[in-house]
Amino acid sequence: MIRLENIHLYTGEAAFENGCVVVDGDRILYAGEWDGCPAGRYDSIDGRGGIVMPGLYNAHCHAAMTLERGVGSDLHLMDWLNQVFPIEANLKERDVYDGTKLAILEMIRRGVVSFADMYYFMDEVARAVEETGIRANLCRGCSDLQGVDSISALKDAWDGKANGRIRISMGLHAEYTSTMDVAQYAAQKAREWGLSAHIHLAETRSETMGCMERHGCTPAEYFRRVGMFDVPTICAHCVYMTDEDMGILASHGASAIHNPTSNLKLASGIAKVTHLMEKGVNVALGTDGPSSNNVLDLMAEMKLASILQKGALEDPTVLNAHDALKMATLNGAKAMGFADCGVLAPGKKADLILVNDETLAICPDIPAELVYCAQGLDVTLTMVDGRILYRDGEFMTLDPKETVARAMEAYRSLMRA
């Protein structure tokens, strides 16, 4: 068993100035005040006064786009896609594997313990996830019937594998990149195969207006009609949503994934996060891909999400530190279908991080300290399933030099194609 001591603690539900966490196998045995820590023989980890908190859940990204970082900068979404799609047409399986491992290296270093990924060659993504010890919900971004059918083999090969760290979802890229027949087929197969779903939804004004012209309804209503929301669905972006749209998501248990940096960089707009929450929608956080962000830093997304809503609504009380932390942890775990994750409590999965920067010790408000002061590179330990993946500059499941070198080789090859 492992005991983390000499720590401040934020469990996701409560904060403790003098805390303790005990990990037994892949589960939390205890998380609370030091005085209540059960006696026993432990491998102790000295937190050096840092903050232990639940790990971060990146609920929407395209990990292997590390190989396209910076492509299409300073463009609107559709113009950006017109630069990205031709490059992606030349991707090979090994490229996606190497690009994903680079993304995982970046995420583990910054405290991300799980990510929801939509991309290509997803067997290679799953292989990278299995090898590196991170948790993930994976889907292919389908746009045709053949793509939807391919999810069956992906499910059989990977769903529930790696001690349950890998989950497979039905992926449909978006309304505007598929037909209604394809969307209905994807929804039908998701129900038959017992899968959740992952889609892009109402990311831009032009997407929403185009859907209105094509189908006479908003994207949310469109996906309700085709039956996509009959299964738990990750809905990335949700920028242009009516009250009725929000009600659809809430009544069907769908999750809205807020990607503030990407939405601002692509000038897509600002999602009405507080309104979505008020409507009862589970709202989580994502980075989107490294080409439209351009980093995989969920700590940065937490802060931006909070202050963006405050500024947009001219109200400093909205989306407070606790709410932002919940979006990045428990809500993300829920969106990805990991029901026993996202909080530090007895019986829950031991997915946690240690945030340690001496300058943070000045702040007495632990949630505020984590959201408004801490940065991704302040993370000094990342644990998934009770296994330490990163600690004090050392990666346990990745060779940083080899990972970066292979990704650079893939990048050069891709750009020459």
Give, for all 417 residues of the chain, the pLDDT tens digit.
999 999 999 999 999 999 999 999 999 999 999 999 999 899 999 999 999 999 999 999 999 999 999 888 888 888 988 988 888 888 999 999 999 999 999 999 999 999 999 999 999 999 999 999 999 999 999 999 999 999 999 999 999 999 999 999 999 999 999 999 999 999 999 999 999 999 999 999 999 999 999 999 999 999 999 999 999 999 999 999 999 999 999 999 999 999 999 999 999 999 999 999 999 999 999 999 998 999 999 999 999 999 999 999 999 999 999 999 999 999 999 999 999 999 999 999 999 999 997 766 666 799 999 999 999 999 999 999 999 999 999 999 999 999 999 999 999 998 886
> How many other C-beta atoms can be found within 10 angstroms of the C-beta atom of residue 412?
11
Rg (C-alpha) for the chain, rounded Å, is 20
Q: Which amino acid is at 68?
A: E
CATH number 1.10.150.20 given to 2-54+342-395: no
- Residue 170 is encoded by which pair of tokens? 């039905």
Count CB-CB contacts under 10 A for residue 314: 7
Q: Is 104 helix (H, G, I), strand (E, B) or coil?
A: helix
Q: How far is CA 210 from CA 83, 114, 177, in A?
A: 21, 33, 12
Residue-level length of the chain? 417
Q: How many Å apart are CA 376 and CA 390, to the nearest integer?
A: 13
pTM greater than the 0.75 cutoff: yes
Residue 102, token pair as written in the block: 């680079």
Q: What pLDDT is attached to residue 94?
A: 96
Bridge partner residues of 46 (DSSP) = 5
How does DSSP classify residue 35?
G
Phi, psi at 89, each rounded to 5°:
-65, -20
Question: CB-based burial of residue 40 (10 Å sphere; 0-12 exposed, 13-18 middle, 19+ buried)?
Answer: exposed
In this structure, the number of other CB atoms found within 10 A of the CB of residue 153 comes to: 10
Please list the helix, strand and coil fractions of the chain in percent, rounded to the nearest 5, in that order: 45, 25, 30
169: β partners: 196
Give domain limits for the chain.
2-54+342-395, 56-336
The secondary structure of residue 194, as a DSSP letter, is: T
- Fold classification of 56-336 (topology level): TIM Barrel (3.20.20)
The pLDDT of residue 80: 85
* Nearest C-alpha neighbor of 194 from the set 171, 174, 169, 172: 169
User: What pLDDT does residue 416 have?
Assistant: 82
